A and B are shown apart, each in its own frame.
Chain A
Amino acid sequence: MDLFKLIGQLGSGMVISVEIFVLTLLFSLPLGLVISFGRMSKNTLLRSITKVYISLMRGTPLMLQLMVVYFGPYYLFGIKISASYRFTAVIVGFALNYAAYFAEIYRSGIQSMPVGQYEAAKVLGYSRMQTFFKIILPQVVKRILPPVTNEVITLVKDTSLAFVIAVSEMFTTAKAVAAAQTTMVPFIVAAVFYYIFNFAVAAFMEYLEKKLEYYK
């Protein structure tokens, strides 16, 4: 069997996996920050809601959440589901789930900041916005890079879960080809793909950590 032809067949699946990965991060990283604000809010209601949200998202399988996002509109509101909604549902499901994990990471990072940084900024006259975005957040980013790296690597592997609502990412395609040609090779190619993908992600995160090593 021609390996290049196989990789060509799997190619579109790879592209979709990468798309899921990139779009999930794009939405969940900022959303996680917003949720962490809710989680640390002075408003009790907001705090409780975000707490329940985070606990639900972390306490139930992502696979199940994807199905809820995909089938929910039909079962809850009778809205007819179009095939093009599949990919959207995957991104929404992933983003909502990962945002919950990132929210907790942000929260621990923000709460680990010494109060002296806030006080110094306040006495110097920085506004609350300036204090957060200029003084606090850059230091938080450095502190949370290791746990974020863990999540991001998990995300690479999690992209394969999109198969549950029949989005043809890498793994789905590999399975189909393997079944048609009764061979293990597609799975090996898939494994190599995920491994290289993760390797690249880990290398990039390491590069970021290095870049932030200029201060302690």
Chain B
Amino acid sequence: MNLLEINHMKKGFDGLEVLQDISLTVQEGEVVSVIGPSGSGKSTLLRCATMLEKMEDGDLTYLGEKAAWSDGAGSCIYAPKSDLKRIQRHFGLVFQNFNLFPHYSVWKNIIDAPIHVGKVSKEEAQERAAKLLLQLGLEDKKDAYPCQLSGGQQQRVSIARALALQPKILFFDEPTSALDPELTGEVLKVIRQLAQEKMTMIIVTHEMQFARELSDRIIFMEQGRIQQQGTPDEIFASGNGRVREFIGKY
């Protein structure tokens, strides 16, 4: 089944066309990496897909439920708020700079949304949080506050926070770009672990080696378009000069 379907997505910022015509489907269990030069629209794609940004035209569908659709005249209609609220539960997003809630402990960062947004019972939320902390190697950080953690630990907490809502699909926007090089490994390890568990993920990353070994599919973006997509082998052996040049830099 297609968990995510994007058709002809367009987005601009005051005259600048940032996403030109993006179409993309993601199936259950797939790991898709998005690579491409800075400014090519990778973050904007994720922000439109997670509805932090409104696209101008196109269709956005999660698990067959339409979040937004083109009106056929160059505009886009979003579903009513109540529908969007439900559809939003299908996905989670991990930010480059974590955006943890600094006034909440690690534990509260993880259990608060399930209880107050997901309407999960307190016991259930705590059970999930305990499991996630164990799984992500954070069991001794339960009562710490984000400011007391390293960047790598903070990013792992933010992944736990997203997972606690049990999304069907998880987006990552350069999850290791804000980290010191020696801390990227622990975060990549967690993402690898999720891939083994068949979590559906879309990962914007500059970690080429990581994308190559982990992804089912790699998407190369440039100037607001998907220039090429394919298996890691296809992309890394690409005949497209732009792709080769980009990959060659890493």
Report A's interface with B, CB cutoff 8 A: 114, 116-117, 119-126, 130, 134-135, 138-139, 142, 214-216
Contacts and interface: CB of A to CB of B under 8 A. Distances in A.
B103 interface: yes
A216 B161 contact: no
Best-surrounded residue of A114, A120, A125, A130 (most CB of chain B within 10 A): A120
Contacts of A135: 101
A197 B89 CA distance: 52
A11 to B, nearest CB: 42
A216 B214 CA distance: 36
B4 interface: no
Given A119-B52, A215-B145, A126 B117 contact: yes
B102 interface: yes
A124 B165 contact: yes
15 contacts: A116-B97, A117-B101, A119-B95, A121-B101, A122-B52, A123-B88, A123-B91, A124-B165, A125-B89, A125-B117, A126-B113, A130-B116, A139-B103, A215-B147, A216-B147
Nearest to A120: B99
Interface string B115-128: 01110000000000
Contacts of B145: 214-216
A215 B99 contact: no
Interface string B89-105: 10111010101111100
5 nearest CB pairs, A to B:
A120-B99, A116-B99, A125-B117, A216-B147, A124-B113
Contact of A215 (B97, B103, B112, B161): B103
A22 to B, nearest CB: 27
A125 B101 contact: no
Nearest to B53: A119
Main secondary structure of the interface of A (DSSP, over half): helix
B85 interface: yes
Contacts of B95: 116, 119-120
Given A138-B103, A216-B147, A125 B85 contact: yes
B181 to A, nearest CB: 23
Contacts of B232: none
Nearest to B91: A123
A134 B118 CA distance: 16
Nearest to B102: A215
B175 interface: no
Interface in B155-178: 161-162, 165
Contacts of A139: 102-103
Contacts of A125: 85, 88-89, 113, 117-118, 165
Contacts of A126: 113, 116-117
A163 B201 CA distance: 69
A139 B100 CA distance: 12
B146 interface: yes
A210 B112 CA distance: 25
B228 interface: no
Contacts of B229: none
B70 interface: no
A215 B146 contact: yes
B52 A123 contact: yes
A124 B103 contact: no
A46 B97 CA distance: 35
A172 B50 CA distance: 63
A114 B99 CA distance: 9
Interface in B121-164: 145-147, 161-162
Contacts of B116: 126, 130, 134
B92 A123 contact: yes
Nearest to B97: A116
Contacts of B88: 123, 125
A121 B112 CA distance: 11
